[in-house]
Amino acid sequence: MLSLMRMAFLFITSRNESRASTSFPLVTQNIADMSDLVSFETFSVLSTQVSSQQRTDLVETANSSDGSYEKEDVLDALLESGGEVLSTGVDQVLPIEAGEALPTEVGKFTNEDNEGGTSFENIHKGDSAAEVETRIVVEKTAVNTAVSNEARMGASLLRLHFHDCFVNGCDGSILLDDTANMTGEKTAGPNINSVRGFDVIDTIKTQVESLCPGVVSCADIVAVAARDSVVALGGPSWNVLLGRRDSANASFNAANSNLPAPTLNLSGLISAFTNKGFTANEMVALSGSHTIGQARCTTFRTRIYNETNINSTFAASLRGNCPSTGGDNNLSPLDTTSPTSFDNAYFKNLQSQKGLLHSDQQLFSGGSTDSQVNTYSSNSATFTTDFANAMVKMGNLSPLTGTSGQIRKNCRKAN
């Protein structure tokens, strides 16, 4: 049987039966435990040198079973039928017509391919399946190591992606250092002494550049690192569309104006996310990222000393580490229950008036989002599904594609 470690994981996100014709599949990343079962309800087998009838028979056989099939069985069946397997995994894999050559590079897709999503073109053109897999393994390993060394890093890498995408799109601009001619985003109010994880991104970039120089953007690395961080802390996975290119510039002013402040009321939060195309429910789902990570005293001092919609015992417990003056950078967990596990405890805390930030508690304070908090508090699966879907949407915010932008050699400076 073909070694599973050598398998490439190429996925597409569409479930549209009338998908437009395209030469090559869109590459997304979704590393799955190979012991899992894979559903064939929307699964097509990607292989070559297998007739259309053989492929149809294989899929029909799987679909006629109990709805799932061991991945190893799928591989064996394909190999026995003479097929060269390029991919197995979760979701859907684009079938190759009988007689077509095995694709060795990734090409274009259209909006129809992603249910109306952003059209990324020329996605890492020239990548072989082996190269794609190698990069996936390299990045996943680096993120797992960083999170294992410091659980907080998982939240930091997730936040890095959010702060990148909300400022002029997911273009890696947050990674750029200041220059003589440009004040970047790192020193903007929401980021200074706060946003972190740059060294982890640098490590991944160095490793990836040594394998395939000039191919993988820093923006893509940030997007995948965010997903892998959530998974490392027990949260959901999602398909990460690839093909973003890097900006050569950053905007200090845009970072100051576009990133939601922890002091916002509910109406301000809804407006900030609506401006980026998100619904109020998606805003609540994304806020659930505060189930991991920590916040600085300066961001919640006013809440624990002056606000009334806060559990008194909870507030008192925080004041020892966050004095009324001084200690601005002292940290407290955003989720007091399980700060290093990606779960729905954050929403349960809100119900008990234990939201750390003013903006957190605004989600459950007699307003229009109370019902959504109740839903996520009682149904973890609904939260993780909604969160994953919202993360895919966030990763599609105004990416640079085609000939726009560049593939930075060093994530901290333009080429």
When mean pLDDT is compared across 4-13, 52-61, 186-195, 334-343, the lowest value belongs to 4-13
pLDDT digits (tens, 9 = 90+) for 138-153: 778 899 999 999 999 9
Q: Which residues are known to be catalytic?
A: 163
pLDDT at 211 over 90: no
| CATH annotation of 131-258 | 1.10.520.10
Q: What is the pLDDT of residue 131?
A: 54
CA–CA separation, 118 vs 401, rounded Å?
Answer: 10
What percent of the chain lies above the pLDDT cut of 70?
67
Closest by CA position to 141, among listed 97, 149, 381, 115: 149
Mean pLDDT of the region 281-303: 98
* 131-258 and 266-393 share one fold: no
CA–CA separation, 332 vs 334, rounded Å?
Answer: 6
Q: What is the pLDDT of residue 393?
A: 96
Burial 72-110 (b: 16+ CB within 10 A, else e): eebbebbeebebebbbbbbbbbbbbeeeeeebebbbbbe
Higher pLDDT, 284 or 8: 284
Q: What is the pLDDT of residue 213?
A: 87
pLDDT at 327 over 50: yes
Closest by CA position to 8, among listed 113, 83, 96, 84: 84
Whether 218 contacts 242, CB under 8 Å? no
Q: What is the pLDDT of residue 137?
A: 67
Q: Give the confidence band of 102 by pLDDT, cuts at 50, 70, 90.
A: very low
3-state secondary structure of 105: coil
CA–CA separation, 145 vs 12, rounded Å?
Answer: 28
Take residue 386 and report the two structure tokens written for it.
Answer: 């909604």
Mean pLDDT of the region 47-52: 39
pLDDT digits (tens, 9 = 90+) for 170-203: 999 999 999 999 999 999 999 999 999 999 999 9
CA–CA separation, 287 vs 119, rounded Å?
Answer: 27
Whether 372 contacts 271, CB under 8 Å? no
Q: What is the pLDDT of residue 29?
A: 30
Whether 45 contacts 59, CB under 8 Å? yes
Can you list the alpha helix ranges (DSSP code H) found in 344-406? 345-351, 358-361, 370-378, 380-395
Q: Give the confidence band of 136 by pLDDT, cuts at 50, 70, 90.
A: low
Mean pLDDT of the region 298-314: 98
What percent of the chain lies above the pLDDT cut of 90?
62
Mean pLDDT of the region 340-362: 98
Total Cβ atoms within 10 A of residue 117:
18
Q: Give the confidence band of 243 by pLDDT, cuts at 50, 70, 90.
A: confident
Element (H, E) at 86: none
Q: What is the pLDDT of residue 406?
A: 96
pLDDT at 10 over 50: no
- The single-letter code of the amino acid at 310 is I
pLDDT digits (tens, 9 = 90+) for 50-67: 344 544 554 455 444 444
* 266-393 fold: Peroxidase; domain 2 (1.10.420)
Q: What is the pLDDT of residue 165?
A: 98
Backbone φ and ψ of 119, nearest 5°: -95, 105
- The single-letter code of the amino acid at 43 is F
CA–CA separation, 281 vs 154, rounded Å?
Answer: 24
Q: At what angle do helices 129-149 and 152-165 cross, to 10 degrees?
A: 120
Closest by CA position to 164, among listed 218, 202, 206: 218
Higher pLDDT, 357 or 133: 357
Strands (E), 210-361: 294-296, 331-333
Q: Which residues pair with 70 in a beta bridge?
A: 37
pLDDT digits (tens, 9 = 90+) for 391-413: 999 999 999 988 899 999 999 99
Considering the entire predicted model, what is its pTM? Answer: 0.73
Q: What is the DSSP letter of 296?
A: E
Backbone φ and ψ of 327, nearest 5°: 65, 30
CA–CA separation, 143 vs 210, rounded Å?
Answer: 17
- The single-letter code of the amino acid at 46 is L
Mean pLDDT of the region 291-306: 98
When mean pLDDT is compared across 71-75, 244-248, 295-299, 320-324, the lowest value belongs to 71-75
Q: Where are the domains of the chain?
A: 1-117, 131-258, 266-393
